[in-house]
Every structure is written in C-alpha cells, then in structure tokens.
C-alpha cells in the first residue's frame, strides 16, 4: 500500500464508524439510511470498476472479469436502491443474505491465505466469522428492525476498525533479482 491508499483506507474506516454510530443513535431512520448508503456504495464501486475496465483492464488478461464485476455491482446498487419502497422484512433478508455471503467469502479468503502462508489470514478469517455470527444473530431478531440496525452497525464498525488496522500494517515488498 502506498501512502495515498493508506490515508484513503483510514478515511473510509473513520467514515464507516461515524455513519454506524449515527445509525445507532437514530435507529428508526437508520434502516432507510442503511439501504441508501449501501446502494450508493455499490453504485460507486460498479461505476469505478467499469471505468477501470474501459481505461486499463480491457488490455489485461482477465479484464472481462472486472467488467462483469462492475456490471453486477451496478445492478446490485440499482436493485438495493429500488428496495426502499418494499416492506422492511424483504430488505432485512436481502441485507442478511449479502452480509452472510460476504462473511463466507472472507472466511474462504482467509483459509486460502493460510494455505499460501500469508500472515493476514487470521484477520480475514476473523472478519468473516464476525460477519457470519452477526448475520445469524440478526436472523434471530429479524422482526425487530431496530435490533437488526444495531447488529448491522456493529458489523460495519468492526469492518471499519479492521480497515484502519490494515492501513497501519506493514506490507511486504518483494524484490525480484
């Protein structure tokens, strides 16, 4: 990570923690804010990946994968934005599914990093395990929207802290001779 990436990661982590605390303070508005925040984030990430594809990735091996990821993220962002009119239970189940999927992906990423001998496997596995546990606990309280907002905010705060910790970790530089 270069210095700009570290600063950007720290700023994102602080923003995640700040917005989560705001949603905890106002849990009734937190539901709407949460869906809008996620949809805007997915839309921005999708546009970023599509822009990266057209600027550089189309000339790379595996560039189409980046285009497909961008289109899928853009679709999920539009879909999440459209969910704000539906009853809360559908949005809660959708967000639980996304959170559970992200947790499974992080656990698998950590297991793969452990096989490769990377030192960051513990951090990735713990982040995935916490996401999965929060998704399961949130599924228990699926009818109570305020409790779901609190659980979701705890997961976002944890992710923000992990993002800040990752920004301060030293990265290995590999020299090829």
In a domain, 172, yes or no: no
Give 61 or 32, the one with higher predicted confidence.
61
In a domain, 73, yes or no: yes
pTM over 0.85: no
pLDDT of residue 145: 72
**pLDDT single digits (tens) 26-44:** 877 777 777 788 888 889 9
**pLDDT single digits (tens) 106-165:** 899 889 988 988 877 888 888 889 888 888 888 887 777 777 788 888 888 988 998 898
Q: 3-state class of 94 per DSSP?
A: helix
Structure tokens at 96: 């639980």
pLDDT of residue 172: 64
pLDDT score of 46 more than 80: yes
User: How many angstroms separate the CA atoms of 92 and 35, rounded?
Assistant: 9
SS (HEC) of 111-156: HHHHHHCCCCHHHHHHHHHHHHHHHHHHHHCCCCHHHHHHHHHHHH
Contact 39, 73 (CB under 8 A): no
In a domain, 174, yes or no: no
**pLDDT single digits (tens) 62-77:** 889 999 999 999 998 8
Running DSSP on this structure, what letter comes out for residue 174? -
pLDDT of residue 117: 84
User: How many angstroms separate the CA atoms of 1 and 154, rounded?
Assistant: 27
In a domain, 175, yes or no: no
pLDDT of residue 75: 93
In a domain, 39, yes or no: yes
In a domain, 142, yes or no: yes
In a domain, 173, yes or no: no
pLDDT of residue 99: 81
User: How many angstroms separate the CA atoms of 175 and 177, rounded?
Assistant: 6
Number of domains in the chain: 1
pLDDT of residue 177: 65
pLDDT score of 92 more than 70: yes
In a domain, 61, yes or no: yes
Full residue range of the structural domain in which residue 91 is found: 3-165
């Amino acid at each position: 990570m270069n210095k700009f990436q570290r600063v950007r990661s720290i700023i994102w982590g602080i923003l995640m923690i700040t917005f989560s605390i705001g949603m905890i303070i106002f849990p009734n508005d937190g539901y709407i804010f949460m869906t809008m925040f996620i949809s805007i984030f997915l839309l921005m990430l999708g546009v970023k990946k599509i822009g990266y594809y057209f600027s550089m990735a189309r000339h790379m091996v595996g560039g189409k994968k980046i285009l497909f990821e961008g289109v899928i993220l853009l679709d999920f962002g539009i879909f999440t934005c459209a969910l704000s009119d539906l009853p809360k239970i559908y949005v809660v189940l959708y967000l639980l599914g996304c959170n559970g999927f992200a947790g499974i992906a992080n656990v698998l990423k950590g297991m793969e990093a452990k096989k490769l001998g990377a030192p960051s496997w513990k951090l990735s596995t713990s982040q995935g395990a916490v996401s999965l546990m929060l998704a399961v606990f949130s599924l228990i309280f699926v009818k109570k929207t305020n409790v779901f907002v609190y659980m979701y905010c705890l997961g976002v705060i944890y992710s923000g802290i992990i993002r800040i910790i990752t920004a301060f970790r030293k990265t290995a530089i590999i020299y090829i001779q």
